[in-house]
Structure 1
């Protein structure tokens, strides 16, 4: 640990840690595919009894009607966040006509992309825009990639932290909003340097159904299991490979994180720059129906695939970049977590605690500028860990030269120890120190990682990934429907569903401009050209 980091932690220890550190704000977004009892992707619409996917605050859809997304309220308690997630699952199970949730990131068996129903949100202009955007994703990248599920983790430091951090760094006179944004961007730069840690420890997709790569080119040396499962012996997260969530079509897109201004500028350029390839696909079909929102490199900001994003809650009608320009970074969104098949809700307490620790380290540590060389080194490390992270003796590249994955992991754990003690100070349970001890064992014994445990079970029994997933899906449905609600009751969720449906209905009854005019105005407000 550097002397500077040690001094900063000593000064933080002298603050009221219950206010400045332990009140970390978090939210979880967890995606799950709906399947029938045979493990087949649901062809049914998003159940109306769950409420409106457009306006419901806690239960919506992502790319597909079959891809449900659960969103927890912002909370300073890990236990409360997980309880909220469990309650949402319990309610959903009761409204799904016997369907289950697929407990893995990589999709269940899908014979053809035509079996993947694109999400629908109603007849309002904003609802149609959301569906057109998803149609554009299908045109550009195919639907298979879009139904990969993940867990997104939203993280922010408590408000009381920032003035204390200003004092520690001797920047009391800096504008607080600008100071906060600057240091969240520093967190992002450091996170990219450590990003390989997340798939190594928590990657849960070392195997996939052979149907996923039908007709797709790749150079991965897959081995076979059961009737149709493909796997890599030392892989951790194929979801994060070029086959999955990390889109190879965007590999040449450079987004600078050295300042918020640079980041917004790069993103603005990508959503404003025409793409010849996407233009050839057309914006509308012969009948005048939209095929995609536009023919730019990115249709909108959300199309950028990245393991972490700076975020701010947008106001009505505001784009993500407009929100960041208006008031700076409010929180960061970690997007590189696989769904954990060994958890009924896809994520567990010790995982969340470790991510808190890692993000705190990324914030507290010095963070120099990130250049193309730094970006390439981080990408190379990530690819190595994704494809062969549990390989004995695997070497990675730090800025000062090569290092074994195990040694680097043990070094990170040492850096995190004093942070864990601060976050556990005065608490009944040493959750953060327990999380750290658990991950140290994984660095030393890779077979204990989530991917290691999964591969061991599949290989030992020569079991298909799908067979194992279906067994877990059935178990988790029985468990979550049998336990009582932890924070709410059924009437609470029914009221939320009814309110969301009414809100959607109210939106659809309002007088609206034509869809063409709506989209032209939306993009004009973002400084983006719009053409048909």
Structure 2
């Protein structure tokens, strides 16, 4: 089926798949030279975290997020990302970027400062949302960093793919339907991404904050814990206590179904969160007491996305204008890259996501989706164990055998992309990561853990060495895409934009929140 679709696409236009669009969002903690969390505010020289297009913060003032513009060239995206790192490192004094997903040593959960976005209603709402996350789950879980990979295909591809499938009708509806099909297959096979690219088999024991864990952690060095076969502790349920969210059953069989499920969660009261209170002694503690405060609180390994307008809710944007791109959220920070992700990973993800699109994708019931999540959990904690079995179509199957089959099925797609782009980078990436399948010690998690065990070194001290190395490397290299004046101008413009937003507020904060949530009925037009 996949080969047939590739042949048909080639028959119409061999270049149909060129122009794949990417964007990267990389999160990283700022740390001091001793490896402890930097508690300084977001540097003024970086501009406004509320409005800067490339440099912002995630949960905490200490948790930076770098965002690249959309580009159809992987090398351009990585050059932009490196330049954003470069400018930032030159404007945060002696501080460094933590080169891993699991946090550095943090003494107390309460020590992690919420991100601040100024005095505007939108800025205050962003900070209050983070305060709600702290009150619901604790801040430690929010200090975990990841990399988000945004992926979309050009309109020209969709026009030809619609022709290949023999479908007519409105193009955007077709695009949304196909992205949802891709997401369902991604859910089925995401365990492979976590096996290959998971890079957090160990962590600082301060993360547990003296809480017990159901995992049989082994000690390492002075203050680290690890699981011998783990791939990604970041993707485990460590510290994650939202049992209400795990029973939401948000499914992806149509855009309407997805939006409807997410809406239900946003409007569903939670007894647990009602006990926290929304406003206590005149001070807000969270945006509301529902299972989800807003859509972004729903933790998923992938999201269908549409660029939002100012003050517009994500589900509203999706229901009005359909799916524009997808956001892959299962990536650990790659500790072997100064910018947290490599070109080889991006080439592999292009192949993998095209595979998920081109392969038939039957509907995925809530019960079947639970099985995919169980498979993922097994690979998260036990992925490098020989003879690990996953469930496929209700039957146990060796993960190794299943992965071999996926690699074989993806190879024609890699070759197709090589031909279209006039290089060998896609099949080379597939071959490189295939070695990780033959030898689990070649995975990111295997390389990292072997290094730690060989030297009996703390996870924290090794990551700090990498962080210092990348700081030096980034600081010494010249800009590749942007230049210093461009960054300074962007910072200045973002600060001015924040001031404008603050001056333009015309309603109280209470009214602003009320109006924001009042938009919900528009979202349900499509459901």
Fold-level similarity (TM above 0.5)? yes
Deviation at 1:15, TM superposition (A): 3.2
Deviation at 1:402, TM superposition (A): 2.0
Q: SS in structure 2 opposite 1:144?
A: helix
Deviation at 1:60, TM superposition (A): 0.2
Match of 2:217 in 1: 222
Q: Distance in 2 between matches of 1:445 and 1:164?
A: 39
Establish whether residue 469 from structure 1 lines up as the match of residue 463 from structure 2: yes
Match of 2:136 in 1: 140
Say if 2:101 and 2:145, in contact at 8 Å, map to a contact too. yes
Q: Find the partner of 1:189 among 181, 184, 187.
A: 184
Say if 2:18 and 2:421, in contact at 8 Å, map to a contact too. no
Match of 2:499 in 1: 505
Say if 1:184 and 1:310, in contact at 8 Å, map to a contact too. yes
Say if 1:247 and 1:305, in contact at 8 Å, map to a contact too. no
Deviation at 1:427, TM superposition (A): 4.0
Establish whether residue 274 from structure 1 lines up as the match of residue 257 from structure 2: no
* Residues 22-67 of structure 1: CA deviation (Å, up to 9, x unaligned): 2100100000000011011011001010010000000000000000
Q: Distance in 2 between matches of 1:284 and 1:400?
A: 47
Match of 1:481 in 2: 475
Q: SS in structure 2 opposite 1:10?
A: helix
Deviation at 1:213, TM superposition (A): 0.7
Match of 1:399 in 2: 393
Match of 1:14 in 2: 11
Q: Find the partner of 2:160 among 161, 164, 167.
A: 164
Match of 2:206 in 1: 211
Deviation at 1:247, TM superposition (A): 5.7
Q: SS in structure 2 opposite 1:17?
A: coil
Deviation at 1:16, TM superposition (A): 2.6
Q: Find the partner of 1:312 among 300, 306, 317.
A: 306
Say if 1:148 and 1:244, in contact at 8 Å, map to a contact too. no
When the two structures are superposed, what TM-score results if normalisation uses the length of structure 2?
0.97
Match of 2:285 in 1: 291
Establish whether residue 237 from structure 1 lines up as the match of residue 220 from structure 2: no
Match of 1:423 in 2: 417
* Residues 366-392 of structure 1: CA deviation (Å, up to 9, x unaligned): 111101331121111111100010001
Q: Distance in 2 between matches of 1:400 and 1:294?
A: 40
Say if 1:199 and 1:337, in contact at 8 Å, map to a contact too. yes
Unaligned runs of 5+ in 1: none
Establish whether residue 302 from structure 1 lines up as the match of residue 296 from structure 2: yes
Match of 1:5 in 2: 2
Q: Find the partner of 1:333 among 317, 327, 336.
A: 327
Q: Distance in 2 between matches of 1:133 and 1:63?
A: 9
Q: Distance in 2 between matches of 1:167 and 1:245?
A: 45
Deviation at 1:395, TM superposition (A): 1.2
Say if 2:248 and 2:261, in contact at 8 Å, map to a contact too. no
Establish whether residue 458 from structure 1 lines up as the match of residue 452 from structure 2: yes
When the two structures are superposed, what TM-score results if normalisation uses the length of structure 1?
0.96
Higher alpha-carbon deviation: 205-214 or 215-224: 215-224
Q: Distance in 2 between matches of 1:426 and 1:330?
A: 23
Change (3 A) 1:192 1:511: closer
Say if 1:245 and 1:305, in contact at 8 Å, map to a contact too. no
Unaligned runs of 5+ in 2: 523-527
Establish whether residue 355 from structure 1 lines up as the match of residue 352 from structure 2: no
Establish whether residue 390 from structure 1 lines up as the match of residue 387 from structure 2: no
Say if 2:308 and 2:314, in contact at 8 Å, map to a contact too. yes
Q: Distance in 1 between matches of 2:82 and 2:241?
A: 28
Say if 1:239 and 1:245, in contact at 8 Å, map to a contact too. no
Deviation at 1:319, TM superposition (A): 0.4
Change (3 A) 1:75 1:422: same
Change (3 A) 1:245 1:416: farther
Establish whether residue 34 from structure 1 lines up as the match of residue 33 from structure 2: no
CA RMSD in angstroms, aligned pairs only: 1.4
Establish whether residue 68 from structure 1 lines up as the match of residue 96 from structure 2: no
Q: SS in structure 1 opposite 2:66?
A: strand
Deviation at 1:249, TM superposition (A): 5.1
Say if 2:101 and 2:333, in contact at 8 Å, map to a contact too. yes
Q: Find the partner of 1:200 among 188, 195, 199.
A: 195
* Residues 311-369 of structure 1: CA deviation (Å, up to 9, x unaligned): 00011221000000101000000001000101000000111111111110111111111
Q: Find the partner of 1:371 among 365, 379, 383.
A: 365
Give every structure 1 segment of 4 or more consecutive aligned residues whose post-TM-superposition deviation is greater than 4 Å. 244-249
Say if 1:40 and 1:109, in contact at 8 Å, map to a contact too. yes
Q: SS in structure 1 opposite 2:374?
A: helix
Say if 2:278 and 2:289, in contact at 8 Å, map to a contact too. yes
Deviation at 1:440, TM superposition (A): 1.1
Change (3 A) 1:211 1:511: closer
